[in-house]
Amino acid sequence: MALLCFVGFLYWQSQQSNGNSRGPGGAVAVKTATVSTQQMMREVSAIGTGIANNSVQLIAPSSEFLIELNVSEGQKVNAGDVIARLNNVQQKARVAELEAVLTEQRRQLDRLKNLATTQATAQSLLDEQQTRVNSTLAQLDIARQQLNDMTIRAPFSGFLGLRQISRGAFVNAGTVITTLDDIQQLRVEFRIAERHLADVAVGMPLTVTNVAYGKLPFEGEVTAIDTRLDPVTRSVTIHGRIANDNLMLRPGMLLNVRLQLDNRQVLQISEKALVPQQNRQYVFVVDAENRVQQREVQIGQRIPGWVEVESGLAEGDEIIVEGVQKVRTGVTISKIEG
């Protein structure tokens, strides 16, 4: 007896369920939506690192005493500004000596040229003197360059880093004096998976955020794409550039990058409206009399929850987005609100 009661309860419950899926007059209750043109934006997220647009270490070119130092941490300098100067007394003396030697050698060369016009000297003597002049000129060029190297100048405009040495100290060749960074434009380096390579191009917009500034976005664009992929991770390195006039971003920062791969107006429907059959996609279209017709559609790009419709639908068409499993062509439906 208990078994009969249980079977009867299950039958009654199934009938109630079927009744709840029907609208007035036995119509199938479904939820519909109108096809509309919307903005479809695809993005890829990555973790990046901030890099100065230009960055160098200013080092001592030779071993000598530091006689001048113009370094204030964080100070902005222009290209060509003197940062430091090493003791250059010996280099100045060497240049002066070679200039004097060159002057005398040129005088001797001119005398030999005058004698050569009267056939009073051999051509070999004239050639030897010309060689001496050329050799001294080469030595003088080297000496002048060495003298110039004793003055350390900013190679580009930027901001000085921390001072690593003090004025008056004896420094060895290669000693770091300070750093210079151009950070009014910041580069960001990040990697994306190989599958996105065909979608990314130079000039694409990107947005970065940093934990120091919460959700405050910094806008930039892609400036370079590496020609090689990492054979281990199958990822490609991307460089972007971000305006940083307020100097909020710094080299070495961990940056959250959002790269916008696509942004356009398309016909867009909910993924729940699709009815896949073999290799084709269908939707149920509702006519003015609330009757259903199955229609094949061609789909394009997908984003979470939504899909682009390339053909098969027009803007303003009404389709079923919930309850597609309960309908077929020719069925009359009842629309559920909400």
Of 332, 336, 320, 334, give the one whose Cα is nearest residue 291: 332
Q: What is the mean pLDDT of residues 183-203?
A: 92
Q: What is the mean pLDDT of residues 46-61?
A: 93
What pLDDT does 284 receive? Answer: 92
Residue 23 predicted with pLDDT over 50 = no
What pLDDT does 126 receive? Answer: 79
% of residues, the chain, pLDDT over 70: 90
Poorest-pLDDT segment among 32-41, 108-117, 240-249, 286-295:
108-117
- Average predicted confidence (pLDDT) for the chain: 86
Residue 71 predicted with pLDDT over 90 = no
Tens digits of per-residue pLDDT, 278-308? 889 999 999 988 899 999 999 887 878 888 8
Q: Which residue has the higher pLDDT, 324 or 25?
A: 324
Q: What is the mean pLDDT of residues 176-203?
A: 92
Where in the sequence of the chain do the CATH 2.40.30.170 domains occur?
44-53+183-263
Of 215, 189, 209, 214, give the one whose Cα is nearest residue 249: 209
Tens digits of per-residue pLDDT, 144-161? 998 999 999 999 999 999
CATH hierarchy code of domain 44-53+183-263: 2.40.30.170
Exposed, middle or buried by CB within 10 Å (0-12, 13-18, 19+), for 272? middle
What pLDDT does 338 receive? Answer: 60
Residue 14 predicted with pLDDT over 60 = no
What pLDDT does 129 receive? Answer: 84
Residue 18 predicted with pLDDT over 50 = no
Residue 243 predicted with pLDDT over 60 = yes
> Contact, 147 vs 120, CB < 8 A?
no
The upper half-sphere exposure of residue 230, i.e. CA atoms within 13 Å in the direction of its Cβ, equals 11
Residue 131 predicted with pLDDT over 70 = yes
Q: How far is CA 148 from the centre of its chain?
A: 38
Give helix then strand counts, H and E, for the chain.
3, 19
pLDDT-based confidence at residue 9 (cuts at 50, 70, 90): very low
Where in the sequence of the chain do the CATH 2.40.420.20 domains occur?
28-40+265-335
Q: What is the mean pLDDT of residues 68-87?
A: 91
What pLDDT does 12 receive? Answer: 43
CA distance 154 to 78: 7
Of 280, 263, 287, give the one whose Cα is nearest residue 43: 263
What pLDDT does 26 receive? Answer: 57
Contacts 24+ apart (CB under 8 A), 221-229: 222/259, 223/187, 225/197, 225/200, 225/201, 229/194, 229/197
pLDDT-based confidence at residue 24 (cuts at 50, 70, 90): very low
CATH hierarchy code of domain 28-40+265-335: 2.40.420.20
